Amino acid sequence: MNPHRTGPNRTGQRARHLARWTALAVLVTLCACTDKTPVQIGFVGGLSGRVADLGISGRDGVLLAVEQRNAQGGIHGRPVRLLVRDDRQDPETARVAVQELIDSGVAAIVGPMTSSMAMATVPLVNRHQVVMVSPTVTTTDLSGLDDFFLRVSATTRDYAHKTARHLAEKVGVRSATLVYDLSNESYTRSWTDNFKQEFLRLGGRVAGEVTFTSGDDAVMHELARRAAGEGADAVVVSAGAMDAALFCQQFAKLPGRPHLAVSEWAATERFLELGGTAAEGVLVDQFFDRHSAAPAYLAFRDRYRERHDTAPGFIAVNAYDAANLVMEALDRRQGGENLKQTILGMGGFQGVQGSLVLDPFGESDRRAHLSVVRNGRFVPVD
């Protein structure tokens, strides 16, 4: 064996091995720094049944926010994947849906869309410490709690009080009959109680209360007759868009029609479509300003219409804001900090119609607006 010929070969082999290992180490480092594993976000809402307008519009608002975020590079270079579940406005289905999202490893959940579904699922997210941000849940049953449930809307207190003040001070209503749906009782009782509190404070009188449970067997003609039979100056309805519209249709057939108002749960385009001429003149509470000229809102409105071939309502606006709040917080979160801490530590958040501030309990200060139905449209009255 010639040592003068083998020595350089061995040196070259060692150099080549070292180069390969160096390249492999660099590749591993690059892969670690460019993790493309999707960041999963869940959505839960009623996508079927009588309140499907809430769930579908909410999902579409979140979907647009996710698509825009991914077009901008996602979160730290990772794409966002949206997992969607239908709670069917059923408590047990909602619990199963939320547990599925948690088991799938979602970073946060946007939803649910109704207060009764929130009451059913908040214990689950609290147990697993997964943040859930609702676009539209307003019940006061979940107020003032240090939990993992946050929201980008105010509570029923803000909306119901504003309706009561308008009827008492602007319209001159002195007595009211209250009609509300027990299928979303946490919301409707909260709204009705808040309305009564403010209306009584202003010297008004509650002539009576009429309750029903949403479903195909709800006889709206009988409900309307009973409500009108109390002889009040106004009838105030807390129900979803479909039931509120059907009530208006039957109520319009009765003589001596008093003032009619519905809560913000019904403030969707479906209410206008189903209510038709019977909805004309109805006072409707609103989560947002439909006639806002804010550049961010106009850009969102145009992009939403282009994407979904329809104009956005309050549901889509709130859901879009909720999804963007979650994704912005995920982008800002520092190591060792949970998502709830990040969100509450952000101070304010820029929604499409202005800044939203969450208090220490995760409740927003979104302003209430009032409108009246004129020529098949919601027209501002404030």
Q: Same domain for 89 and 114?
A: yes
Q: What is the CATH number for 180?
A: 3.40.50.2300
Q: Same domain for 198 and 265?
A: yes
Residue 6 lies in a domain: no
The pLDDT assigned to 14 comes to 56
Q: How far is 258 from 256, CA to CA, in rounded Å?
A: 6
Q: Same domain for 164 and 272?
A: yes
Q: What token pair was written down for 329?
A: 């917080």
Among the candidates 286, 307, 326, a domain finishes at: 286
Q: Same domain for 281 and 329?
A: no
Q: Same domain for 298 and 211?
A: no
Where does the chain have alpha helices with state H?
A: 3-33, 52-71, 91-103, 115-128, 156-165, 185-201, 220-229, 241-251, 269-275, 295-308, 314-332, 339-345
Residue 307 lies in a domain: yes
> Beta strand 80-86 with 369-374: parallel, antiparallel or unpaired?
unpaired
Burial of 14 (0-12, 13-18, 19+ CB in 10 A): exposed
Q: Same domain for 130 and 165?
A: no
The pLDDT assigned to 216 comes to 64
For residue 368, give Cα distances in angstroms to 6, 125, 200, 263, 381.
86, 28, 20, 11, 12
Q: Same domain for 351 and 327?
A: yes
Residue 27 lies in a domain: no
The pLDDT assigned to 19 comes to 52
* Domain ranges, residue 363: 39-153+292-367
Residue 85 lies in a domain: yes
Q: What token pair was written down for 237?
A: 């309805």
Among the candidates 254, 269, 286, a domain finishes at: 286
Q: Same domain for 45 and 60?
A: yes
Low-confidence ranges of the chain (pLDDT < 70): 1-34, 216-217, 382
Q: Same domain for 107 and 133?
A: yes
Q: Same domain for 177 and 278?
A: yes
Tell me the whole-structure pTM to 2 decimals: 0.87
Residue 382 lies in a domain: no
Residue 297 lies in a domain: yes
Q: Same domain for 317 and 238?
A: no
Q: What are the phi and psi torsion angles at 57 (to 5°)?
A: -65, -40
Residue 24 lies in a domain: no
Residue 21 lies in a domain: no
Q: How far is 19 from 16, CA to CA, in rounded Å?
A: 5
Q: Same domain for 216 and 254?
A: yes
The number of distinct structural domains making up the chain is 2
Among the candidates 286, 312, 339, a domain finishes at: 286
